[in-house]
Amino acid sequence: MDPGRRAGPPAPVRGRRLGLSGAGVPTPPAGAIRDPRQVRAIGSAIVRWGAAGDGGSRRPDLPWRSTRDPWAVLVSEVMAQQTQLARVVPAYRRFIARFPDPSACASAGLGDVLRAWEGLGYNRRAQNLHRAAGVIVETHGGTVPDGLSGLLALPGVGAYTARAVLAFAFEADVGVVDTNAGRVLSRAVAGRRIRPDEAQRLVDAMVPTGSGWMFGQSLLDLGALVCGVDRPRCEECPLRRRCRWAAMRLSGPDPAQGSAGVSTGQSRFAGSDRQGRGRLVDALRRGAVGPDRVGEEVGWPDDPVRVERMVSVLIDEGMVVRDAAGVLRLP
């Protein structure tokens, strides 16, 4: 069964804008940065560009784009944090086939969820997703909440992921700010570095009514495919005549540097605790690891103090269990 085409997604709420209370946040005009009419015109230009792509979007090959199932969208967004999409696609298909809804995930052991997370790294995201599934079952009757406050209360769900679920599952008219969107907002719309609150107000004001899904997908694609980190391809960009940084001939510091949502790059991986944690969880996916093998599996055979410190943290976090004989396993 194609997980991207599963039956029974909740009825979409096209065109819903977030309100002032309950699940919503205020969306004041973005006039402080740019004339609101220009902001809306930029949003419409982004939607036109995205809608002209194959299959109605620029990257139709991404399987979560053909579903509005909130659980599938949530899984895809959590997976896509800090992981290349080429690795996310097969893992997403595998994970959704194994855990097609929150209750399937919540009723599984964390070890099974971690095994299904293989190849994605940052295993704590799998643990958070498992916990989130538990909250969805216990607090929301097994249905992913459709409001901002409910989504933000889920473990591991931050501002971007919550709004992505609203826009991409419920088709709400809310903007999303990740590293790709952040580049476009700072370079094209603001022409300067922007704070997170400015970025959110700006992007919310750009969403054409009833186009929350298409706008969000198109904005992310524009940042990923055209307004890249090092070489923005302005000659192909639908915003080239409206872009503030292009009007400056890309002179001066890049407005995206240090701007809201824009990634500053990951810390060094080789030799890091993150690498050691990942190696140990990888080994435990294959089976139990006895105390005599832990240092070797982690890659620090000559540093038992560091190994024990890392193992203790993993045990405290609930990612790993150790029996009386010192043998480690996934929970």
| Angle value at C-alpha 130, between 116 and 138, nearest 5 degrees | 145
CB closer to ligand SF4 out of 112 and 254: 254
Q: Where are the beta strands (DSSP E) in the chain?
A: 321-322, 328-329
Are 210 and 43 in contact, with CB atoms under 8 Å apart?
A: no
User: H helices within 36-178, ranges in order?
Assistant: 36-51, 70-80, 85-98, 102-106, 110-116, 124-140, 148-152, 159-168
Are 188 and 181 in contact, with CB atoms under 8 Å apart?
A: no
CB closer to ligand SF4 out of 51 and 108: 51
Cα 48 to Cα 42: distance, rounded to the nearest angstrom: 10
Closest approach of ligand SF4 to the CB of residue 177, in Å: 15
Interaction between residue 190 and ligand SF4 (CB under 6 A):
no
Interaction between residue 239 and ligand SF4 (CB under 6 A):
yes
Interaction between residue 294 and ligand SF4 (CB under 6 A):
no
Cα 68 to Cα 11: distance, rounded to the nearest angstrom: 9
Give the binding range for ligand SF4 (CB under 6 A) out of 123-131, 132-140, 241-249, 259-267.
Answer: 241-249
**Strand, coil or helix: what is 72?**
helix
**Number of chain positions touching ligand SF4 (CB under 6 A):** 14
Cα 15 to Cα 171: distance, rounded to the nearest angstrom: 7
Interaction between residue 157 and ligand SF4 (CB under 6 A):
no
Closest approach of ligand SF4 to the CB of residue 41, in Å: 14
CB closer to ligand SF4 out of 105 and 262: 262
Strand partners, 322: 328
* Contact string (CB under 6 A) for ligand SF4, positions 168-187, x = contact: ----------------x--x
Q: Is residue 235 flagged as an active site residue?
A: no
Interaction between residue 150 and ligand SF4 (CB under 6 A):
no
Among 227, 280, 311, 319, binds ligand SF4 (CB under 6 A): 227
- CB atoms under 10 Å from CB of 303, counted, come to 14
Interaction between residue 33 and ligand SF4 (CB under 6 A):
no
Site for ligand SF4 in 199-218 (CB under 6 A): none
Closest approach of ligand SF4 to the CB of residue 254, in Å: 9
Are 37 and 162 in contact, with CB atoms under 8 Å apart?
A: no
Interaction between residue 51 and ligand SF4 (CB under 6 A):
no
Residue type, 133: A
Contacts of 117 (CB under 8 A, 6+ apart): 91, 95, 123, 125, 126
Closest approach of ligand SF4 to the CB of residue 263, in Å: 16
Interaction between residue 102 and ligand SF4 (CB under 6 A):
no
Among 188, 206, 307, 311, binds ligand SF4 (CB under 6 A): 188
CB closer to ligand SF4 out of 226 and 280: 226
| Angle value at C-alpha 64, between 62 and 69, nearest 5 degrees | 170
Contact positions toward ligand SF4, by CB under 6 A? 184, 187-188, 226-227, 232-234, 237, 239-240, 243, 245-246
What amino acid positions are annotated as catalytic residues? 77
